[in-house]
Every structure is written in structure tokens, then in C-alpha cells.
């Protein structure tokens, strides 16, 4: 019998298409799971509205549900935006271990350019805070490029969204 708990466990194994070290559950894009009469309804919110991986995420979640023997319905929820605060502690650690600097917690006023330029960001390789912003525009809208003066490594910093 398919339960919500089993669905959550299965979704925790579905890797993010752009950053496969974290699952969609770790990334915090899966919002809700409902199971009723052999049907599974999943709500998810992509990291940003123009995310090119939405269909890939939807298909992978549907495959995971079908593998459990249930019929999936995967809905994209656009009425509430995703936030980096939704990344789980395990997801943050997985990002750090793979060379990404996790985002700082959001402040009540939201992120500012001053935050991006500050030395508050820790290098995922050596742990130093002696880092600097190299380029506010990373490979995706939610990441920027930083450089560590201690270990001399570039790394991607998740922007606080």
C-alpha cells in the first residue's frame, strides 16, 4: 500500500537535475504529498518561475510514484514563491560537501547587495570567511561566483532568495 511516508521517501531519492547532489526534497521544492485511492498528488514550487528543469522534475517525480505502484498527479504551485530557507539542513550539508556554499538565512528585509559583498560567506572547501564576490551572475539566477583568498578556490554561492 502506498502511503505519504513512502512517497516522501521515494521523492527524497529524486535528484535535482541541475545539482544532483541534493534531492528535490532536500532542495525544498516539494510542497505537499497527498495519497488517496491509489492516486498520489504532489505539489511543488520550482526555485524560480522560468526554471528550465520544471518538466524534468515533474517527470522524475511521476516516475518515482509509478515505481511505487500508484498513479501520479504532479502540480506546479506558482502562487507562493520558493525560498532558500526551504533547503533542509541535510541539503545544506550536501551542498557544502560538494563545493557549493549554502545560502545565508533570509533577513526580515530580504537580501541586499551588501550581503553578497560581505565576508560572511564561508568557503565550502576550507571554511574561511576571507571570500569575495567575483560575479553576481552564476550559472543559474540563484547562484553567484565567489573566490576564497585562503585556499584560492572559486566556488558557487547560493544567493539568499
- List per-block mean pLDDT (blocks of 10 residues) for the chain, which spans 161 residues: 95 95 96 94 90 93 97 92 91 94 70 54 91 88 90 90 76
Question: What's the half-sphere exposure (Cβ side, CA atoms, 13 Å) at 58?
Answer: 13
pLDDT value at position 79?
Answer: 83
Q: Which residues of the chain does CATH 3.30.300.130 include? A: 4-76
β-strands 143-148, 131-135 pairing: antiparallel
Q: Which residue has the cell 560538494?
A: 98
Q: Are 42 and 106 in contact (CB under 8 A)?
A: no
pTM of the complete model: 0.80
Domain spanning 4-76, CATH architecture = 2-Layer Sandwich (3.30)
pLDDT value at position 117?
Answer: 52
Amino acid at each position: 500500500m502506498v502511503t505519504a511516508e513512502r512517497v516522501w521517501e521515494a521523492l527524497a531519492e529524486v535528484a535535482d537535475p541541475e545539482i544532483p547532489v541534493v534531492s528535490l526534497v532536500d532542495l525544498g521544492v516539494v510542497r505537499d504529498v497527498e495519497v488517496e485511492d491509489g492516486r498520489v498528488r504532489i505539489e511543488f514550487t520550482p526555485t524560480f518561475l522560468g526554471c528550465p528543469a520544471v518538466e524534468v522534475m515533474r517527470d522524475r517525480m511521476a516516475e518515482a510514484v509509478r515505481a511505487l505502484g500508484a498513479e501520479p498527479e504532479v502540480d506546479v504551485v506558482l502562487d507562493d514563491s520558493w525560498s532558500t530557507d526551504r533547503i533542509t539542513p541535510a541539503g545544506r550539508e550536501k551542498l557544502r560537501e560538494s563545493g557549493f556554499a549554502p545560502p545565508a538565512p533570509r533577513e526580515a528585509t530580504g537580501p541586499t547587495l551588501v550581503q553578497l559583498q560581505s565576508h560572511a560567506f564561508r568557503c565550502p572547501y576550507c571554511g574561511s570567511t576571507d571570500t569575495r564576490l567575483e560575479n553576481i551572475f552564476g550559472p543559474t539566477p540563484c547562484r553567484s561566483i565567489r573566490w576564497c583568498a585562503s585556499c584560492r578556490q572559486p566556488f558557487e554561492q547560493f544567493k539568499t532568495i
